[in-house]
Chains A and B, each alone.
Chain A
């Protein structure tokens, strides 16, 4: 009986999370190209809020961390702390080529590069910057994988 209840709760939680993920956005040193495309997904043409994705400000309420940039040395600690403050289960989406390899900034002295050298990443969305459609697609892929 207890196992069944637990299963139902888990399914409900997944449904709630999948249907209404709360996201927090963090710029770890990007040129802002990716950030404005992320912001564009919330504007009328793409209107990602109709899928229930909500962008809010506190890591403590976030399911998904949307991270741009090649992680500058200055941003590294902050990124780590935000990740630590997020409750389980939590997921990370790296938007842009910078988060994959450092992008054009690979080798620059103040840049770490790959976001997964700092925190684990679930989804990489390549592009410089990726289009809003690509960003939405990446997030939807993440949500679909949660349904399994």
Chain B
């Protein structure tokens, strides 16, 4: 099957949960689904459909900015922006990404580790760096941030600008 046929196959499999499909590149489709449907969609695509393999989980901070009236500074609008989680599945040259949107506060999605134990590393990374909660993920210890990292501080969020004092450990 060529790349476009493979992509069509993926779209068919997850049709019932699909909200929207975009095509960021010729060999890719981004399939927007509701966060609550992530498990059935992954199950249908990967476990039952055997479509490719999970290559990565990307956490994305997609902020909207508001201009502060007084200072004219550009600040992240906590009401409008969103977090996104992309599950990238690769099959030969085709990449199908399941894409969910989450609010800044209460960013929660079910873990897929009961179906795919190796997803644990990706989920841990997104939890620490962007602040997404993967419910029922088996391990929640810090994967890469130091033990004494302040809780609730997510370095990959746009609001994180580094520490005021130089890193002292």
Q: Could you list which residues of chain A lie within 8 angstroms of chain B, going by C-beta atoms?
A: 72-74, 76-77, 107, 109-113, 118
Contacts and interface: CB of A to CB of B under 8 A. Distances in A.
A53 B155 CA distance: 42
Contacts of B155: 109-110
Given A77-B169, A112-B168, 18 more contacts: A73-B146, A73-B148, A73-B149, A74-B146, A74-B147, A109-B155, A109-B160, A109-B162, A109-B167, A110-B145, A110-B146, A110-B155, A110-B167, A112-B166, A112-B167, A112-B169, A113-B166, A113-B167
Contacts of B167: 73, 109-113
B97 to A, nearest CB: 27
Contacts of B166: 112-113
Contacts of A72: 146
Interface of B: 145-149, 155, 160, 162-163, 166-169
A112 B146 CA distance: 13
A93 to B, nearest CB: 21
Contacts of B160: 109
Nearest to A71: B169
User: At the interface, is chain B mostly helix, strand, loop or mixed?
Assistant: loop
Contacts of A112: 166-169
Contacts of A107: 162
Nearest to B168: A112
Contacts of A73: 146, 148-149, 167, 169
B155 to A, nearest CB: 6
B157 to A, nearest CB: 12
Contacts of A111: 167
A109 B150 CA distance: 13
A109 B164 CA distance: 10
A113 B169 CA distance: 11
A109 B169 contact: no
A145 to B, nearest CB: 30
Contacts of B146: 72-74, 110
Contacts of A76: 169
Contacts of A109: 155, 160, 162-163, 167
Nearest to B161: A109
Nearest to A112: B167
A80 to B, nearest CB: 9
Among B162, B163, B168, B169, residue most surrounded by chain A Cβ atoms (within 10 Å): B169
A76 B149 CA distance: 13
Going nearest first, the 10 A-B pairs with the smallest beta carbon separation are A76-B169, A74-B146, A73-B146, A73-B169, A109-B162, A112-B167, A109-B155, A73-B167, A111-B167, A112-B169
14 contacts: A73-B146, A73-B148, A73-B149, A73-B169, A74-B146, A107-B162, A109-B155, A109-B160, A110-B145, A110-B167, A112-B166, A112-B167, A113-B167, A118-B169
A119 B148 CA distance: 20
A77 B147 CA distance: 11
